[in-house]
């Protein structure tokens, strides 16, 4: 069949070039999808207490062990996890936490949080639980992208060089949203 003939019937059909172009587009899309078989996880870490610093770091480092691509966007109090000095002094709040193995009313007295923190740190040590610093180092080593929300860093007056080496700075909500849109798993902690 000649492609030169311009009958009205032929005009209704896409040209060979158009079809070829479309096939190439689809092939490129399939190749992209095949490349993209590794899972992605995006975590937003908003809490800076010792107990709440663990879940995002444990999930992030374990997901990296699965070969997943992981980003953790740290914002508000979650920033303290990546702040080198503050991360070594994260505290547990005894107030409003009925699971603490001490009378809840004690938490409201001066030194209540210090007592709860001391207790948890002792348990962490006795149980061979990794420290926050160890989990951060391991996560970075395994390629987890730990991100500092620039807006909250400015709000809290943290300088870029106060965070652990290897974290990503100068990122904002749009970066986090893009990561969430690309991810198979999205978590807000």
Q: Which residues bind another protein (CB under 8 A)?
A: 58, 61-62, 64-67, 127-130, 135, 138, 141-142
Instruction: Please state the closest distance from residue 129 (CB atom) to another protein, in A.
Output: 5
DSSP assigned state of 164:
P
Quick one: 60 or 171, whose CB is closer to another protein?
A: 60
Q: To the nearest whole angstrom, how small is the minimum distance from the Cβ of residue 64 to another protein?
A: 8
Q: Which is nearer to another protein, 138 or 186 (CB)?
A: 138
| Residue 123 phi, psi dihedral angles, 5° rounding | -65, -40
- Smaller CB distance to another protein: residue 75 or 139? 139
For another protein, the closer CB: 126 or 161: 126
Indicate the residue among 21 and 134 with the shorter CB distance to another protein: 134
Least separation in angstroms between residue 141's CB and another protein is: 7
- DSSP sequence for 115-142: HHHHHHHHHHHHTTPPPHHHHHHHHHHT
Buried b (16+ CB within 10 A) or exposed e, 29-63: eeeeeeeeeeebbbbbbbbbbbbbbbebbebbbeb
- Asked if residue 186 lies in contact with residue 42, where contact means CB atoms within 8 angstroms, the answer is yes
Query: What's the min distance (Å) between Cβ of 59 and another protein?
Result: 8
Bridge partner residues of 147 (DSSP): 73, 168
User: Rounded to the nearest whole angstrom, what is the least distance from the CB of residue 25 to another protein in the complex?
Assistant: 28
Report residue 57 CA to chain centroid gap.
9
CA angle centred on 176, ends 174 and 147, rounded to 5°: 120
């Amino acid at each position: 069949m000649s492609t030169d003939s311009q009958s009205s019937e032929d005009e209704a059909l896409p040209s060979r070039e158009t079809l070829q172009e479309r096939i190439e587009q689809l092939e490129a899309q399939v190749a992209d999808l095949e490349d993209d078989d590794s899972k992605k996880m995006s975590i937003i870490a908003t809490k800076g207490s010792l107990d709440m610093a663990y879940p995002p770091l444990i999930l992030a480092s374990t997901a990296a062990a699965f070969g997943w691509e992981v980003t953790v966007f740290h914002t508000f109090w979650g920033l303290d996890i990546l702040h080198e000095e503050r991360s070594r002094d994260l505290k547990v709040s005894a107030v409003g936490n009925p699971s603490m193995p001490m009378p809840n009313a004690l938490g409201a007295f001066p030194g209540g949080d210090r007592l709860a923190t001391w207790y948890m740190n002792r348990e962490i040590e006795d149980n061979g639980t990794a420290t926050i610093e160890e989990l951060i180092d391991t996560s970075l080593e395994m390629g987890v992208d730990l991100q500092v929300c620039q807006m909250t860093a400015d709000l809290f007056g943290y300088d870029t060089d106060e965070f652990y080496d290897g974290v990503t700075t100068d990122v904002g909500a749009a970066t986090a949203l893009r990561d969430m849109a690309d991810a198979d798993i999205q978590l807000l902690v």
